[in-house]
Amino acid sequence: MADVITLTYDISPDDFTRAGEASSDVKSKLKQMGVPPEAIRKVSIALYEGEINMVIHAEGGRITVEISPQRIYMVLADKGPGIPDIEKAMQAGWSTAPDEVRSLGFGAGMGLPNMKKYSDEMNIETEIGVGTTVTMSVNIA
């Protein structure tokens, strides 16, 4: 038996109808695994925020989720524009989302703050013009 189950999802850009597919698939698998509801809630909220971010800002990317009985480790990697000022981006309510995105009800400036809030550990690596990789983990036990 392997120690981790690895799931990968390619996130397509500008497709809001498909945004959320990765997080809901992960959610259903965690439920089948019998992961405590609170951990599932944290993963699904954090991952959905990340997924939406990739659709809005980064022209898609790839999400890799590693599930082990101890924790859920998520890597969200994109080749987008990068985040110029992480400190600002982490502030609640600060947003660079364009108007058409806001009109869909997204872009309230809570993406990264919520990802931080609902994960037990989060790390951002970003380079302007190269891309951003966000890693998050949620502990099960």
Partner 1 sequence: MDKFYHSVRLDASLCRGCINCIKRCPTQAIRVRNGKAQINSKFCIDCGECIRICPHHAKTATYDSIDVLKQYAYTVALPAPSLYSQFNNLEDTNIVLNALKLMGFDDVVEVSAAAEIVSEATRQYLAEHKEQMPVISTACPSVVRLIRVRFPNLIPHLLPLNPPVEVAACMAAEKAMQETGLPREKIGVVFISPCPSKVTYSKAPLGTEKSQVDRVLAIKDVYPRLLSCMKTVGRGDVEEIGVSGKIGISWGSSGGEASGLFSDSYLAADGIENVIRVLEDLEDQKFTNLQFVELNACNGGCVGGVLTVENPYVAEVKLKRLRKYMPVARSHMEAEHEAYVPWTTGVQFEPVFRLGDTMMESFSRLEQVERLCRRLPGLDCGSCGAPTCKALAEDIVRGEASEKDCIYWMRENLHKLSREVTQLAQDMAESGKEKSGKLPVLMDYVRQISSEITYLDSRVQEPGSEEEQEETT
Residues of the shown chain interacting with partner 1 in the complex, contacts defined by CB under 8 A: 1-2, 5, 7, 20, 23-24, 27, 29, 31-35, 37-38, 40-41, 44-45, 48, 67-69, 140
Question: What does each C-alpha distance from 121 to 71, 89, 117, 130 come to in angstroms?
Answer: 11, 17, 9, 23
Cβ(80)–Cβ(59) under 8 Å? yes
Cβ(124)–Cβ(134) under 8 Å? yes
Enter the tokens of residue 75: 């890597």
Q: State the minimum distance, in angstroms, from the CB of residue 46 to partner 1.
A: 10
Q: State the minimum distance, in angstroms, from the CB of residue 84 to partner 1.
A: 28
Whichever of 21 and 120 has its CB closer to partner 1, that residue is 21
Q: How many residues does the chain have?
A: 141
Q: State the minimum distance, in angstroms, from the CB of residue 140 to partner 1.
A: 8
Whichever of 69 and 84 has its CB closer to partner 1, that residue is 69
Whichever of 67 and 122 has its CB closer to partner 1, that residue is 67
Helix axes 21-33, 37-57, angle to 10 degrees: 160
Q: State the minimum distance, in angstroms, from the CB of residue 43 to partner 1.
A: 10
